[in-house]
Amino acid sequence: MDTSSGPSVAQLVIDGLRQSNIEQLFCIPGVQNDDFFNVLVDAPDIQPIVARHEQGAAYMALGAAQVTGKPAAFCVVPGPGMLNASAALTSGYWAYARVLAIIGQIPTFLQGRNTGTLHDLPDQTAILSQLTKHTAVVHEPNNAAAHIQSAIDAVHSGVPRPVSIEVPVDVWGQTTSGQINAADVTMPAVDSAAVDRAAALLAAAQRPLIVVGSGAYEASKEVTELAELLQAAVTTRRQGHGVMATSHPLFVPLTCAHRMWPDADVVVGIGSRLEWPLGTWGYDDELSLIQINVDPDEADRHGITDVAITADAAPACRALIDALGTQTRPSRMDELDEQRAWFNDLTAHMTPQRSFTSAIREVLPPNGVLVEDVTQIGFASHLWFDHLQPRTFLTSGAAGTLGAATAQAIGASAATDRPVVGIVGDGGFLFTATELATAVQHNIPCNIVLFNNSAYGNVRRIQQNRFGPDRTIATALENPDFSKLADAFGVRYWHADSPELLMPALSASMNHDGPCLVEVTVEQMPDPWPFLRMAPNRGTGAATS
């Protein structure tokens, strides 16, 4: 390849990874990307982590991006490769992760002609545009640097969501001019006038409630200080866990927040879409809403926002604290203690889930990372796991993609030295279980806890609840011998059938330098959904109109 006139397009993409401080590339090579991988050979500072399926590569990048809060990248071929990765891109979109997707393309002269050439799609970019916030397409080398730079800037800036770069097979090796610089990171500025309006509402508030989401991960200190200043209860649905430790006296589980919702006079959403409170619980004219979100689309999605502060959570909360000044407010500790006691009594029968989440918490250190799949213990962890720090609970978010957690946990483990535990059910485990081979090949010390009830247990229980105990279909599973499966991969295996036995098994797993599987045999568990999805209880709102 002649590079005498300048870098190749492939080299510019490698430079973009370097400028993003990306040191790992989760990938599956293929013919459309051969020229890119040929350049990667000469980039020893970027480690290729070779996956066994494109969805695995993309889920690994998702886990790495979530655990660090920084961009992570994957590379796959076009057509079926991109489509296989699309579920993970959807997860990254709704879990707000800075994922950089490097996608090959068919030759430029065949695009859009529907010739059926290898990996052809009628319009790949149109699909990617629905899964990412920015799509950069390098059709020819003259504008390659500008398009690649735009993608690098975008993946670092604004709303954390995936960004894609598409390069056709006949463009990768072409030489060009220009260079890739460090990302030009842009965030919306804090509007001081909006801060003042929000401060005025909060100064008069008697029963404020703060709802946090993943957009508040980097604002843990500021959110906690604001809540203490206001004596405001703090809650989250799923992605804001750890912003305020669940052990903090101002934190309440979502079920308690629902109970308090009719009496809240000012609600502050911080980095949250407020999907369930506003979309399900309802609202009325007595409720004032303040939205702090870097995403302008969330400023007034429900048409009831009184003050929108479109900015990153940390500086916005700091400005709000400064505007509020000294506050003297009566303590709400006793009130919130009563709420938590009520919740504990109400959910005392959820013993299996509570015991298993407590067992995991007992073994996992405070900075350890829990990755949930769409599974029984995953749902339970929203309510009964003690989340102590930000970025220690990873999820596929609103996408709810079954089977993501094994690969997601492997990616998170590759990106951090902190211990990582992925919790999966037998229904989802086999979706990405093949990535255990990736973990073995690269000696990634992840810990997968597999809860096995030989069923799609959540679906089965919903069928029973809705249609009757005998009206179940397509939920029973015939599983392999997971101990033999683990052994075939070269993965250490433990078995437990109780919370008491899970603790030593998980402890041994975490002390092993390599990937591990802990299988936990369980029966059907009590239904957690009455404590997660709750009926409208205020005004007319969207849910009751």
Assign residue 53 the CATH number of its domain.
Answer: 3.40.50.970
Q: Which helix (H) or strand (E) holds 148?
A: helix 144-156
Range of the domain at 49: 9-168
Question: Are both 273 and 357 inside the same structural domain?
Answer: no
Question: Are both 120 and 150 inside the same structural domain?
Answer: yes
> Which of 134, 168, 202 is the C-terminal boundary of a domain?
168
Pairwise CA distance, residues 122 & 115, whole Å:
9
Question: Are both 126 and 247 inside the same structural domain?
Answer: no
Question: Are both 362 and 449 inside the same structural domain?
Answer: yes
Q: 422 and 449 in contact (C-beta within 8 Å)?
A: yes
In-domain check, residue 181: no
Strand partners, 520: 451, 496
Regions of the chain where pLDDT drops below 50: 1-3, 542-545
Pairwise CA distance, residues 155 & 99, whole Å:
7
Question: Are both 365 and 330 inside the same structural domain?
Answer: no
Q: How many CB atoms lie within 10 A of CB 154?
A: 24
Neighbouring C-alpha atoms within 13 Å toward the C-beta of 49: 31
Question: Are both 51 and 87 inside the same structural domain?
Answer: yes
Give the single-character DSSP code of 499.
H
In-domain check, residue 176: no
pLDDT tens digits, one per residue of 12-58:
999 999 999 999 999 999 999 999 999 999 999 999 999 999 999 99
In-domain check, residue 478: yes
Q: 44 and 392 in contact (C-beta within 8 Å)?
A: no
For position 4, what pLDDT does the model report? Answer: 54
- What are the CA-CA distances from residue 227 to residues 220, 237, 267 (Å)? 11, 17, 12
For position 119, what pLDDT does the model report? Answer: 96
Question: Are both 39 and 149 inside the same structural domain?
Answer: yes
Adjacency order of strands within the sheet including 99-105: 47-50, 24-27, 72-76, 99-105, 163-168, 134-137
Q: 155 and 98 in contact (C-beta within 8 Å)?
A: yes
Question: Are both 370 and 302 inside the same structural domain?
Answer: no
In-domain check, residue 510: yes
In-domain check, residue 200: yes
In-domain check, residue 409: yes
Q: Domain of 264: which CATH number?
A: 3.40.50.1220
In-domain check, residue 179: no
Q: 454 and 429 in contact (C-beta within 8 Å)?
A: no
CA angle 522, 375, 515 (to 5 degrees): 80
**Two structure tokens written together for 225:** 């200080």
Q: How many CB atoms lie within 10 A of CB 149?
A: 22
CA angle 23, 429, 502 (to 5 degrees): 95
Pairwise CA distance, residues 282 & 536, whole Å:
6
**Which of these, 450, 441, 437, lies nearest to 487 by C-alpha position?**
437
Question: Are both 200 and 327 inside the same structural domain?
Answer: yes
In-domain check, residue 2: no
Pairwise CA distance, residues 76 & 59, whole Å:
12
For position 327, what pLDDT does the model report? Answer: 84
Task: DSSP for 66-131, please give it.
Answer: HHHSS-EEEEE-STHHHHHHHHHHHHHHHTT--EEEEEEE--GGGTTS----TT--S-HHHHHHHH
pLDDT tens digits, one per residue of 250-283:
999 999 999 999 999 999 999 999 998 999 999 9
Provide the whole-model pTM. Answer: 0.96
Q: How many CB atoms lie within 10 A of CB 540?
A: 11
CA angle 308, 311, 316 (to 5 degrees): 85
Pairwise CA distance, residues 267 & 264, whole Å:
7
Coil, strand or helix: which one is 163?
strand
**Two structure tokens written together for 73:** 């990248």
- Amino acid, single-letter form, for residue 313: A
Q: Residue 517 phi/psi, 5° resolution?
A: -130, 125
Question: Are both 519 and 379 inside the same structural domain?
Answer: yes
User: In the chain, how many domains are there?
Assistant: 3
**Which of these, 184, 182, 161, 180, lies nearest to 61 by C-alpha position?**
161
Coil, strand or helix: which one is 57?
helix
Question: Are both 141 and 200 inside the same structural domain?
Answer: no
Task: DSSP for 14-46, please give it.
Answer: HHHHHHTT--EEEE---GGGHHHHHHHTT-TTS
Question: Are both 227 and 339 inside the same structural domain?
Answer: yes
For position 276, what pLDDT does the model report? Answer: 87
